[in-house]
Structure 1
């Protein structure tokens, strides 16, 4: 009897255990959405400069963190005679709308919205031998063709492009209106003046995207962006040209235990802050007066005031680490006495003892036009103003929104103008020289100086390769040093600041086009 009872109890225990195992599992709480909030100062985040190009769309090749070309949508390529580039494309990739990525999609890009781009101009013909092979036959060898592909090219869905064209969108505006690419994120919505939203591409070809959503918060004031990060209202600042961190805020962020500061040294970046003269009109069509201003500006003091050290001081348009930089470039010289002598030799003197030099009764009063995008320029402008006053030059500071500043440059309505430029948008500086110093330059802006010798050297770059190319660059830099079309200040060190919950983030590469290309790997751990 006792055994029977024991057996029955054991049987009941086993049955209860089995039944417990068969009960419906309790529902686990729904996973929290992983949303990355990025503060930026510019409202138009639908262009390549802003980050859309690397969130939504991709090109055949890309730069890695060391500025080396690596495959992207193309898995390999070969070059023949410096003129024929044949790319083998990856298979099995689809655009966000389900359209297959193939050779025809690449060709379509160059025959529509890339038709007038910098890179398209040198292409004679594009062939598609099969669905996954594209052949570019150039008019002549171009040493930076691959680099240009990595910078300027993005492949969009031909179906989406066709639809936009049928709706009346011009070819030139396609990159700003069509966001259907192969990238890790899809464009969701843009609330003007407030935010731009991207959602993850569930079928991204490179792997699983960890973030569910990226929201760009529009915060024009740089100090407010810093405060928003500290308050936990955003997760990332400083990672693009429209979200720069004020240099004076860097130390504060570095000491915040809830924030991780990312830094890329000036020697490894391509950002350049400088100012150019209006050499097309009086007074700075006079080389002697340009030299006077150059010697009156204490570049080392300005850079130290901004960064706390003189590491980023620019000796030329490129960091000394660049293979194209002249090895004999000198550090900028501060010599106010020489500046005064040059002014006197040009006929400028202070006859009424008001501290400002005059010539023929006209005081030496000039303007410096600066933009609102980079906060450091407020400090720079005020320091230049004080330094020029010491040699008898009165400087008025004029501040403009970015677009208005570009119009001032285009129309030549300035004496001095702030230039926050890219010394090189890729691993070769040809673009920089063509944009700023050539009379046949890009983007419709006048060159900072017109000089036949410079034009000759820059024109010869298109055919020069190897050591000859380096020598051409050295000659260009020497000529620029002689002409003094501007004053180089510093190479921009890069800073980004993020909440510590961000994982796998890196500040790379140094190009504004591609700084968000790593976001598909980023995760958030609360």
Structure 2
């Protein structure tokens, strides 16, 4: 009994007459994290990596880990794996790390990984197409994956958050935003809801000492509330601070700002099933009527980088490699007039056959930049005669799936695996192509990219693909994100990362103030 009481005291809970009494150890370290990057509307609530984008949350908050990860140069490195070898074009042999346990207590081996990946490709909307897995063989710590066709990027995809390795014997506890899993990471989720995750450190973590005992992740949809919470000390760190509030913390010795450029891009999809959007002149005029430079410098306070295409300058297949239209209000007006759209009644908006040129701009509020972009574009497009009606809703995915929009503006990390293929297979030809854009040549080139091994050739194909969708005015790109994590100065071990993952890790520490 004495041993049980001592254990309870050390873990922070003492059971007395059937009641749980919380006991706070003097040296217990806690951390409260506020974020705009966790919500049901973004599809990443809950921790089940096999559900939509919830793998991002599993990785970001230290519960799950993947076989491979990305370094600061977005190069693939082993993580739960230690090595891999392509034995032929359709077979890869992966050696797993020894001594790794799930938070359920089960030892991770090739059979456990096989079970996880089998469930992933069965239920996830992208993984089956991405990895082209035909079958797998498990032998101790060696996993052999055989694909239906050459899949050069499979190692990159195994670092995608949907590839977080979880214990399928433990299964998924709860559904949707309440889903919990047993991962291999430095933290174990005690409670998961769509707005908060309560974490405790994993005492058996394979990667070394976990320094913080308890972590709380809180979801914020209001930027002002997030800023206020950091100022009052209700939270000790944040991701997703709105850009005009960075000035409140920059240069203040009580806070630390850690930033880096990412491939997260704010971009729009035109709805090709909308009668108005079927006119390429209208699509091109919209692109020419949005002042990207002004949005990045004025609205995003310089924390955004104007985008020509899907990838930033840091990629050799990024902005510098493609050509597209620039901000040109007069040229935009000329295109509209060419298609018969002209202000005939003097109300400031173009019209045709008695109908005002009105477009439905769909976006969502949890990415704080997106409503600001919608309002900014509403003002600049008004100057060329386009009336923009903004639908800024948490239920954006339903509207997108139903095609109830003319423009759908969202954000996406376009190269989260350090490879260009992801953007095209997920959004241009894949499940997230809500605008129903189609081009047979683009589909064929995407398939060619999927089967090309040489990095230089993959980069060339990525440039060619971007140029084709730009020439078609199928998508438009506004800004790449220079993301920032802001913490109290006594918080150590948190850093922004180019892939937008790895936020809470075993390196997190909270020093005595």
TM (norm. structure 1) is: 0.84
Deviation of residue 231 (structure 1)?
A: 0.9
From the superposition, tell whether residues 214 and 326 of structure 1 become closer, same or farther in structure 2 (CA, over 3 Å).
closer
Q: Which residue of 109, 133, 147 maps to 1:123? A: 133
2:401 maps to which residue?
410
Q: How far apart in 2 are the matches of 1:384 and 1:307?
A: 13
Residue 111 of structure 1: how far off its partner (Å)? 2.8
- CA shift for structure 1 position 120: 4.2
Task: Give the CA deviation at 1:432.
Answer: 0.8
TM-score (norm 2): 0.86
1:421 pairs with 2:412: yes
- Pick aligned residue for 1:160 from 170, 173, 188: 170
Gaps in structure 2 of 5+ consecutive residues:
1-23, 40-44, 49-53
Using a 3 Å threshold, how does the CA distance of structure 1 residues 178 and 230 change in structure 2: closer, same or farther?
closer
Contact 1:454 1:476 in 2 (8 A): yes
Partner of 1:341, secondary structure, is helix
1:264 aligns with one of 243, 256, 260: 260
CA shift at 1:59, angstroms?
Answer: 2.2
- The one-character-per-residue Cα deviations of 1:36-69 (angstroms, maximum 9, x if unpaired) are 1001244534343453235222222212222121
Following superposition of structure 1 onto structure 2, how do residues 101-140 of structure 1 map, counting pairs within 5 Å?
101-117=108-124, 118-121=126-129, 122-128=132-138, 130-140=139-149
Residue among 11, 25, 29 paired with 1:34 = 29
Partner of 2:246: 250
Paired residue for 2:191? 189
Conserved in 2, the CA contact under 8 Å of 1:313 and 1:489? yes
Partner residue, 2:357: 364
1:111/1:189 CA distance change after superposition, 3 Å? same
Match of 1:321 among 314, 323, 326: 314
Aligned residue for 1:344? 337
Q: Structure 2 CA distance, aligned partners of 1:89 and 1:205? A: 13
| Counterpart-to-counterpart distance in 1, 2:269 and 2:197 | 34
More displaced, 203-212 or 460-469? Answer: 460-469
Indicate the SS of the match to 1:292: helix
Q: Please point out which of 130, 137, 153 is paired with 1:144.
A: 153
Q: Is the 8 A contact 2:495 2:503 kept in 1?
A: no
Equivalent pair of 1:110/1:120 in contact (CA under 8 Å): no
Label 1:110 to 1:49 Cα distance change in 2 as closer, same or farther (>3 A): closer
Q: 1:391 aligns with which of 378, 384, 394?
A: 384
Deviations 1:142-173, CA, capped at 9 Å, x for gaps: 12100100112122224312xx6xx9x8xxx6
The alpha-carbon deviation at position 465 of structure 1 amounts to: 2.7
Partner secondary structure for residue 431 of structure 1: helix
Deviations 1:251-293 (A, max 9, x none): 222133211111113xxx1100122222222111011111122
Query: Higher Cα Rg: structure 1 or 2?
Result: 1
Match of 2:507 in 1: 521
User: Which residue, 172, 177, 180 being the options, matches 2:179?
Assistant: 177
Secondary structure of 2:277 counterpart: coil
Distance 1:352 1:120, change over 3 A: closer
Instruction: Report the RMSD for the aligned CA atoms in angstroms.
Output: 2.3
Match of 1:470 in 2: 459
- Asked if structure 2 preserves the Cα contact closer than 8 Å seen for 1:73 and 1:89, the reply is yes
Cα 1:196–1:353 shift into 2, 3 Å: same
CA contact (8 A) 1:51 1:516 kept: no
CA change 1:309–1:207 in 2 (3 A) is closer
Shift of the 110–375 alpha-carbon distance from structure 1 to 2, 3 Å rule, reads: closer
The question of whether the paired residues in 2 share the 8 Å contact of 1:326 and 1:477 is answered with no
Partners of 2:25 and 2:405 lie apart in 1 by 59
